[in-house]
Amino acid sequence: MPTEASSVPAASSEETPLAQSFAATRALSEALVEPLSDADATIQSMEDASPAKWHLAHTTWFWETFLLRDHVPGYERYDADWPFLFNSYYEAEGARIARFSRGLLSRPTLGEVLDWRAAVNEAMEPLLSDPACKDLIRLGIAHEQQHIELLLTDIKHALWHNPLGPAMWDAAPGPSAPAGEQGWHEHPGGIALVGHDGSAPDEAFAFDNEGPRHRVLLEPFALADRLVTNGEWAEFIADGGYDTASLWLSDGWAWVGETGARAPLYWREGEAFTHAGWQKRDPHAPVTHINYFEADAFASWAGMRLPTEFEWEAIARGQDGSASATAHDACAGNQLDDAAAPAPRGGKELFGDCWQFTRSAYLPYPRFRPAAGAVGEYNGKFMSGQFVLKGASCATVRGHSRASYRNFFYPHQQWQFTGLRLARDL
Amino acid sequence: MPTEASSVPAASSEETPLAQSFAATRALSEALVEPLSDADATIQSMEDASPAKWHLAHTTWFWETFLLRDHVPGYERYDADWPFLFNSYYEAEGARIARFSRGLLSRPTLGEVLDWRAAVNEAMEPLLSDPACKDLIRLGIAHEQQHIELLLTDIKHALWHNPLGPAMWDAAPGPSAPAGEQGWHEHPGGIALVGHDGSAPDEAFAFDNEGPRHRVLLEPFALADRLVTNGEWAEFIADGGYDTASLWLSDGWAWVGETGARAPLYWREGEAFTHAGWQKRDPHAPVTHINYFEADAFASWAGMRLPTEFEWEAIARGQDGSASATAHDACAGNQLDDAAAPAPRGGKELFGDCWQFTRSAYLPYPRFRPAAGAVGEYNGKFMSGQFVLKGASCATVRGHSRASYRNFFYPHQQWQFTGLRLARDL
Amino acid sequence: MPTEASSVPAASSEETPLAQSFAATRALSEALVEPLSDADATIQSMEDASPAKWHLAHTTWFWETFLLRDHVPGYERYDADWPFLFNSYYEAEGARIARFSRGLLSRPTLGEVLDWRAAVNEAMEPLLSDPACKDLIRLGIAHEQQHIELLLTDIKHALWHNPLGPAMWDAAPGPSAPAGEQGWHEHPGGIALVGHDGSAPDEAFAFDNEGPRHRVLLEPFALADRLVTNGEWAEFIADGGYDTASLWLSDGWAWVGETGARAPLYWREGEAFTHAGWQKRDPHAPVTHINYFEADAFASWAGMRLPTEFEWEAIARGQDGSASATAHDACAGNQLDDAAAPAPRGGKELFGDCWQFTRSAYLPYPRFRPAAGAVGEYNGKFMSGQFVLKGASCATVRGHSRASYRNFFYPHQQWQFTGLRLARDL
Amino acid sequence: MPTEASSVPAASSEETPLAQSFAATRALSEALVEPLSDADATIQSMEDASPAKWHLAHTTWFWETFLLRDHVPGYERYDADWPFLFNSYYEAEGARIARFSRGLLSRPTLGEVLDWRAAVNEAMEPLLSDPACKDLIRLGIAHEQQHIELLLTDIKHALWHNPLGPAMWDAAPGPSAPAGEQGWHEHPGGIALVGHDGSAPDEAFAFDNEGPRHRVLLEPFALADRLVTNGEWAEFIADGGYDTASLWLSDGWAWVGETGARAPLYWREGEAFTHAGWQKRDPHAPVTHINYFEADAFASWAGMRLPTEFEWEAIARGQDGSASATAHDACAGNQLDDAAAPAPRGGKELFGDCWQFTRSAYLPYPRFRPAAGAVGEYNGKFMSGQFVLKGASCATVRGHSRASYRNFFYPHQQWQFTGLRLARDL
């Protein structure tokens, strides 16, 4: 993946960290689509995924709507017809095209969208130092960082449908080192503090669904010190994992029956599909692109269980940027790691290889209140039927990961970099 | 509903409470289908619902399989072809007909199924006093009690499809008294014990998913001292409840769009469908046949929220049979209340009007382990995508309700007697 | 199948042939459901099929609506709510229940429907000798005869879903004699007259879609002198018939892919499902329960083709009742052949074993005009997407078959007694 | 639409008419996509439609497969992976991507496909004068001409989904002149010759399904001398056409119910969508984008009927190129008419405004035999469930229209330029 400084606006010495972060995030979005043609950026492979161009435009719509329209007197929209195309799901912001029609938007072109982005970036400049906009800008940056990850996973899904197996980038060099025997992070249980404290003055940004910070009661438990690997998953398959009803949740077994699933998404004989095309599968790398049903069945097979989101967070706290003095620095380091296709590597870190399923449903924390207005539609309205995932994946923007972050997906979804870290009772 | 003693085998003075409970439960199942023809008992209105005859047969299959086959040496099945028809979902017990084909089983007839029931009842007699079977028999009774409730709600759904609006019984007399202003049960928060203690020697029966008993940490909260009424629901409708996106979860709003829902299931102009046919709707009675999406939207509209399952249980503990010395008596009183159609009435009681949605997802308690073998498929495998409901409805067998009971349904399902009790933070 | 005279009202010496035909048809409908319980008569296995009880009721609705309501002054409907249940598709007669909800009508009961039938029969008596009603009564009889055949094929389909394989009757004795080598009916081509001449004074009844009689131009051709047999179909299967794309129409090949079809409907290893339950398959009997796609693929495999409806009719004319002086007698002989399950036997006759696919689409004849009013919805509105079948099956009421009769089904439908007679160019 | 000679290879004086026709057809395909971006050419709006790029590639695959591979010794495919992408439905040519995945093929790019086209054009050169290839080349040209029309109708459908209403070209100037009162072409009936005589030595090209030429018997009839107009269709709507069940075929009425159709495809208030974007609707222009159900309902409303394919052909014979000495010249004139969006204009001509529904099902002519090999899959395998359309539309390549041409579509399909010419009995 190209990370040339040239594509990132140079931060002048006077720039605030927020302005730097804005500029870097916007630049990263654009750097990621450099290997894509207008057509690549237009296609949509399923209703859950959006075209790359749509991500570029939707994030721009967000800035134009909630910042420029609402905070720049007399601002006129770049194109009055585009909000209908690029609103995602904000009911308060009016009608929008059906989700699955996003893949039919050959116009505006990728070039026109990039022009719009440049115009919005320029118009944003005065607001970047306006204290009244600080919170919304931090939200907008976080929002665009999320879409950067979706852009990466959505385009991977789209390219995978092409029998030619197109690559966006070169693969990272060499296979991983053996993962080694799995150890455990042990925890004695008791009262723990979880969630993000939005009211702390120097606290880094967090979404509304990460708070309020509150106490939970934990039983003694242990969390694996590394992720489950492709090699271990192959053993699960060889042992009849996908043929053994007793390992599966009822809905999961139905999903196996309907889809005929026999392996994670993107696997084929000895290979896995990546942003670098079809590649030899690395047995030492963390398994990814599994869904909740698969993660839960594997844990049953292994005689273990999935952790709760609170167990995971109790182990992670202290290891993430949000609790450290360098939080803002971490947020500013908003480049993906390397100049190659995102791929999980070590598996030892809590953050950065893949999202890890918890057995916690995605539900509101005590005293949770969504923000007022359209931006309040951000997180709360998705609180049914989904599970929480913790950590961050190889496609997550650095600095966007923290212990309190709550990602969430439906139990059948596989197209994210989703993996598995085991837990057990003590 | 007929409750003539004649249909209930007289309990001889020597009979154990367990034998009495067995006899009464079996008799109740049969009493409930007395108003039904063979054809009524055969039809199936949707995949979620089963024919009445199927419930009678499936519960009998349970006794024949897990008690008679496994514990009576040399027992021969009444009919070797029937397990394929009447296994519900026990993968360990082999193949079975597709769920939606249950409604095509005009054979065996209702009479043949009743004959089978009588034969199984007789064959069960020696086991009823066998201590080795006690736990399984308690499970079998609880299982049949659950199916009694499903039988009642499923046949209601089937008859509702008939434009003639057939009635099974007479309606209960008169409308309810006004519900009065709503008050609150307040709770100071702190550590509470929830769940069922399966290891306590004199404890009444509970399902595996109700335990283990464990500690939870509660924030201060209040739980409404009565249920939301039909009249209050009518206000929600009149205020545009079903037209206001901001009140709904995202999946709920999609459900409104797809189904065109504008009221609870079974409502039509001024009336509601009941086991006694179409009846004038009682504004003072608790609203029922709403789903999670509707319950959550109403709570948002009211500026309140749904309780968690733990909050509800913390208020209920001490009010239910399972905590009292009369637990076994309560379990033995296994008749529905009155000789009329089941209908929620007062709304003041925590138990007995309708199941009450909580905002808790249906997930395993700490250290939960399913039972071994086929009966272990009972509860654990449904732990994804569903919400917990507490209380008990007017169609729940008395004695089957307790504070630790965890009912569970998907957020779109409406056909149970499901209602709503508000909660708020203190 | 019971054919006791006792179930057929004795024809008094004064009775007109029409009255006799009415009485015999009504009695036959009822004789056929004698082996069925109320539940058997209530179930519906697919949208294309209707419950047996529904057929009994719908035919009665037809008499009550188009004869009694329209021609008996002051007639009051037996039950004002039932037309909504038992109208099939007559838009002019108002709303009706969704087609697939027919299988949820446990009420009215089979007994109540039979009572209604008796009442309507009695009320019809004065009209049976009213010349003004003659045409409508002939239509009503033909209509009920059609529903007799549907009743038989629909209940077969429903019982087939029951893993117990219930039988309605005993099987006919013994297998058929070998079919012998196939010969040909040759035709020199030229102008032929086809269709029914509705204006001829002594002509027997025909549906509107059978006319007007008109000239067609035929090329020289030959029509097989017997039907394709089960044994020949087994050769087609053994030769990879269902695996060879080039034999199939494009829509047919898609149907094979979607359904996984590998044999006619109702086949399983060595057996076929019949009204007498699962029976050993008779290799000499005509193949049945194939659809148009299958018939066409077989003909391609055999190097032949299907006949047109006009070719078939040109051979059949002169062999059927409608062209003979005994036409009315034939119509009066309205019993199925034997007291056993309907089953195709010889295969040499043009009529009476099974319906035979033609390659003619079901379209209007030149100058065709539907009848005015609701009965005009009878045939014309189905003239798109279906194919014509000629002959008559073992489930067709005797006297209901004639050379001009045009049966029609969609190319994917299999549940009728449908078979195949080859043709070729000369 | 650009018709600059520059985009058409200049025909050298030595070039055969066939070579000229090949060159002009290939050039026309490419001229039509000039206004399209790679993304425009990639998107697919429904399973019935294909991306523009796919049409360009599939036609090239046809040449490469059936001409170059089969007739140029040692020819190596341009890219061995592409046949899997661009085979349409030729089972004999092996597997291919699912039809609806065509819209995910962002690679190869439009530019790569155009390069492939150039390479194939060059490789074809020696074959263009090879008599052994003449028939296949004529088939290939006709095949590509068909895809030119599909390309035009498919891209229109795709662009219509874009709320921005993109235009490919400018609209033709001004509205049409009033259509004038409708007159009739009368025909006395009798024996007529229809179909194409493939064996005549100087006969122009025709598809296999247009023959053999054969005799048909016609009744006296009249065919309207112009097409039904938008203005007349508006009267049909205003008169409740879409609300009157009695006008519709049963399947048509179901289609109205399911789709909520209230007007032809591409209509909105006062406007219609065209290749030139949304344009004011011309009341004098022929109505287009109706399906068979709509055409049939309109004819019923007008008290008329649709013609048969033979009636239409009997009137048209003598008016088309295939019967004239200039047949080959007509075929060579392979440009669409003008440099603007295709749009029906006059409505008086039998050819060139829109395809006209007949009431004839698409079935084989007497003694029809598909060609051997893969190209035999061209027409015959679609002979079920579709209707024949005659004439040619404003999107049909000139010279590709002839009286014997049989176009065919399913009765629900609307996205072609399909219209309506009334007929009646005499």
pLDDT tens for C105-144 read 999 999 999 999 999 999 999 999 999 999 999 999 999 9
Token pair 């995602």 is at which residue?
A88
| Percentage of the residues of chain B whose pLDDT score is greater than 90 | 74
What pLDDT shows up at residue A400? 76
Place of tokens 């359309």: D389
Please, do chains D and B touch (3+ CB pairs < 8 Å)? no
Strand partners of residue A278: A273
Which helix (H) or strand (E) segment holds residue B294: the answer is helix B292-301
User: Scanning every residue of chain C, which has its alpha carbon at the shortest distance from the alpha carbon of B104?
Assistant: C43
Percent of chain C residues topping a pLDDT of 90? 74
Tally the C-alpha atoms within 13 A of residue D139's C-alpha that lie toward its C-beta. Answer: 20
Backbone angles phi, psi at B324, to 5 degrees: -105, 165
The token duo for C224 is 């097989």
pLDDT class of D372 with cuts at 50, 70, 90: confident
pLDDT of residue A71: 96
Q: Do chains D and A touch (3 or more CB pairs under 8 A)?
A: yes
Tokens of A70: 């609402």
Tell me whether strands B221-224 and B184-187 are parallel, antiparallel or unpaired.
Answer: antiparallel
Task: Answer whether residue C236 shows pLDDT above 90.
Answer: yes
Phi/psi class of residue A3: alpha, beta or left (left: φ > 0; alpha: ψ in -120 to 50)? alpha
pLDDT in tens, B42-52: 999 999 999 99
Residue B339 has pLDDT above 50, yes or no: no
Cβ–Cβ below 8 Å for A425 and B366: yes
Q: What confidence score (pLDDT) does residue C422 get?
A: 98
Chain C hits for D385, CB-CB cut-off 8 Å, are 251, 385, 411
CB D286 within 8 A of CB D418: no
- What's the confidence (pLDDT) of residue B19? 95
Read off the amino acid at residue C46.
M
The helix or strand, by DSSP H or E, that contains position A423, with its residue range, turns out to be strand A423-425
pLDDT at residue D200, rounded to an integer:
61
What is the structure's pLDDT at A318?
67
Distance between CA atoms of C341 and B247, rounded to whole angstroms? 61
Q: What is residue A389's three-state secondary structure?
A: strand
The pLDDT assigned to D98 comes to 82
**Which strand (E) or helix (H) includes residue C296?**
helix C292-301
The mean pLDDT value for B414-421 works out to 97
Decide if A77 contacts A69 (C-beta within 8 A): yes
Q: Is C95 on the interface with D (CB under 8 A)?
A: no
ipTM of this complex prediction, to 2 decimal places: 0.92
Q: Are C106 and B39 an interchain contact pair (Cβ–Cβ within 8 Å)?
A: yes
Q: Does A13 reach chain B within 8 Å, measured CB to CB?
A: no
> Under a CB-based contact definition with an 8 Å cutoff, are residues D246 and D296 in contact?
no
* pLDDT tens, position by position, A200-252: 654 578 899 999 999 999 999 999 999 999 999 999 999 999 999 999 999 99
| Residues of A with Cβ-Cβ distance to D104 under 8 angstroms | 43, 45, 158, 161-162
Inspect the interface and report whether the beta carbons of C109 and B161 lie closer than 8 Å. Answer: no
Chains within contact range of chain C (3+ C-beta pairs < 8 Å): B, D
pLDDT band at B367 (very low <50, low <70, confident <90, very high): very high
pLDDT in the model for residue C265: 98
Using the Cβ of A246 and the Cβ atoms of chain B, whether some distance falls under 8 Å is answered with: yes
Partner residue facing D361 (CB), from C214, C250, C363: C363
Query: How many angstroms separate the CA of residue A20 from the nearest CA in chain B?
Result: 34
The order of strands in the sheet holding A418-419 is: A407-409, A387-391, A355-361, A418-419
For the stretch D296-352, pLDDT in tens is 999 999 999 999 999 999 999 866 544 433 333 333 334 565 445 788 877 788 998
Chains near D with 3+ CB pairs less than 8 A apart are A, C
DSSP state, B67? I
The CA-CA-CA angle for residues D48, D54, D55, to 5°, reads 80
Confidence of residue B15 (pLDDT cuts 50, 70, 90): confident
For A410, B1, B99, B381, the CA distances from B413, given in Å and listed in that order, are: 18, 26, 17, 19
Structure confidence by residue, pLDDT tens digits, D408-418: 999 999 999 99
| Substitution target from C93, C191, C193, C250 for chain D, most D beta carbons within 10 A | C250
Instruction: Say which residues have a Cβ less than 8 Å from residue A293's Cβ, sequence separation at least 6.
Output: A248, A249, A251, A252, A255, A256, A411, A412, B384
Q: What is the pLDDT of residue B235?
A: 98
Range C53-61 average pLDDT: 97
What is the tens place of the pLDDT at every residue in C373-426? 777 777 889 999 999 999 999 999 877 778 999 999 999 999 999 999 999 999
In angstroms, the CA C294 to CA C244 distance is 12
Q: What average pLDDT does chain A have? A: 88
Contacts of B181 (CB under 8 A, 6+ apart): none
Residue A54 predicted with pLDDT over 50:
yes
Q: CA of B170, closest CA in chain A: separation in Å?
A: 39
Terminal CA-CA length for chain A: 43
Binned at pLDDT 50, 70 and 90, residue A315 comes out as very high
Residues of B in contact with A367 (CB under 8 A): 219, 425
Q: What is the pLDDT of residue B372?
A: 75
Q: Summarize pLDDT for C66-103 with one digit per residue, the tens.
A: 999 999 999 999 999 999 999 987 888 888 878 888 99
Q: Do D158 and A106 touch (CB under 8 A)?
A: yes
Query: What's the whole-number average pLDDT of chain D?
Result: 88
Name the residue among D38, D40, D81 with its Cβ closest to that of A163: D81
Is pLDDT larger for residue B3 or for residue D75?
D75
Rounded distance between C-alpha atoms, residue D25 and residue D59, angstroms: 11
pLDDT confidence tier of residue A335, bands split at 50, 70 and 90: low
CB atoms within 10 A of CB D260: 7
Taking CB atoms and an 8 Å cutoff, what residues of chain A touch B250?
89, 381-382
Q: Kindly indicate the confidence band of residue A376, based on its pLDDT and cuts at 50, 70 and 90.
A: confident
Q: Quick one: C4 exposed, middle or buried, by C-beta within 10 A (0-12, 13-18, 19+)?
A: exposed
Statement: residue A331 has pLDDT above 70 = no
**Chain C nearest C-alpha distance from B43 (Å):** 6
SS3 readout for D208-256: HHHCCCEEEEECCEEEECCCCEHHHHHHHHHCCHHHCHHHCCHHHHHHH
Residues of A in contact with B92 (CB under 8 A): 245-246
pLDDT digits (tens, 9 = 90+) for A12-29: 456 788 999 999 999 999
The highest-confidence range among A357-361, C19-23, C349-353, by mean pLDDT, is: A357-361
DSSP type of residue D68: I
D-proximal residues of C, 361-420, CB under 8 Å: 361, 363-364, 366-367, 377, 381-385, 387, 411
Measured CA to CA, the distance from residue B120 to residue C273 in angstroms comes to 32
Fold for domain D184-425? Answer: paralog of FGE (formylglycine-generating enzyme) (3.90.1580)
Nearest CA to D103 out of D145, D149, D161, D60 is that of: D161
pLDDT digits (tens, 9 = 90+) for A250-291: 999 999 999 999 999 999 999 999 999 999 999 999 999 999
Higher pLDDT, A176 or A98: A98
DSSP three-state, residue C81: coil
Q: What residues 126-185 of chain A have any CB closer than 8 A to a CB of chain B?
A: none
Q: Which residue of D has its CA nearest to A84?
A: D163
Say how many CA atoms lie within 13 Å of B43 toward its Cβ.
Answer: 29
Per-residue DSSP letters for D126-165? Answer: GGGG-GGGHHHHHHHHHHHHHHHHHHHHHHHHHHHTSTT-
CA distance C242 to C257: 10
Interface contact B383-A292, CB threshold 8 A: no
* Residue boundaries of the structural domains of chain A: 5-160, 184-425
User: What is the arrangement of strands in the sheet containing A267-268, beginning at the earlier edge strand?
Assistant: A267-268, A271-274, A277-280
Say whether pLDDT at D175 is over 50. yes
- pLDDT tens for residues C309-365? 999 999 998 665 444 333 333 333 345 654 457 888 777 889 989 999 999 999 999
B194 confidence band (pLDDT: 50, 70, 90):
very high
Reported as a pLDDT band with limits 50, 70 and 90, residue A37 is very high
D259 exposed, middle or buried (CB, 10 Å; 0-12, 13-18, 19+)? exposed
Distance CA C168, CA B293 (A): 48
Instruction: State chain C's maximal CA–CA distance in angstroms.
Output: 66
* Token pair in block for residue B295: 């319950």
* Position A333 pLDDT exceeds 70: no
Residues 37-56, chain C: which have Cβ within 8 Å of B?
A: 37-43, 45
The reported pLDDT for the residue numbered A92 is 82
- A57 inside 8 A of chain D by CB: no
Question: Could you tell me where the DSSP H helices lie in B48-193?
Answer: 52-62, 70-71, 82-86, 110-124, 134-160
Record the tokens describing residue A354, joined without a space: 């893949």
Cis peptide bond prior to A108, omega within 30° of 0 = yes
Q: Number of helices (H) and strands (E) in chain A: give both, helices first.
A: 11, 12
Question: Is some CB atom of chain B closer than 8 A to the CB atom of C105?
Answer: yes
Cα nearest neighbour of B293 on chain A: A384
Of B248, B361, B385, Cβ closest to residue A363: B361
pLDDT tens-digit readout, B198-210: 766 555 788 999 9
Interatomic CA distance for residues A161 and A164, integer angstroms: 9
